[in-house]
């Protein structure tokens, strides 16, 4: 599929510089950006549907199973 895309000059120049620096095509960058955005939107929709299936009583029951203790100190 071919799509004509109009970008503001500043965004187009930034895109051109970035893709040249990264040695990828503008097409590859735009296609990947769209795929990432679509994945994000689909994940949001999925989580909203799962939210409808949940209940506060189920959450409360799950939380009761968690031990009541302070977290361990860790060096990260």
Q: What is the pLDDT of residue 70?
A: 82
Task: Dump pLDDT digits (tens) for 21-61.
Answer: 999 999 999 999 999 999 999 999 999 998 888 888 988 99
Q: How confident is the model at residue 76 (pLDDT cuts 50, 70, 90)?
A: low
Q: What is the pLDDT of residue 27?
A: 95
Look-up: residue for tokens 């009583």?
57
Q: How confident is the model at residue 72 (pLDDT cuts 50, 70, 90)?
A: confident
Q: What is the pLDDT of residue 17?
A: 97
Contact partners, residue 75, CB within 8 Å, separation at least 6: none
Assign 59 to helix, strand or coil: helix
Contact partners, residue 44, CB within 8 Å, separation at least 6: none
């Amino acid at each position: 599929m071919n799509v004509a895309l109009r970008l503001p000059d500043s965004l187009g120049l930034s895109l051109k510089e970035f893709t040249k620096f990264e040695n990828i095509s503008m097409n590859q960058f735009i296609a990947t950006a769209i795929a990432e955005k679509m994945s994000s939107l689909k994940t949001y929709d999925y989580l909203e549907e799962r939210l409808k299936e949940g209940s506060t009583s189920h959450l409360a029951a799950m939380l009761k199973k968690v031990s009541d203790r302070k977290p361990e100190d860790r060096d990260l």
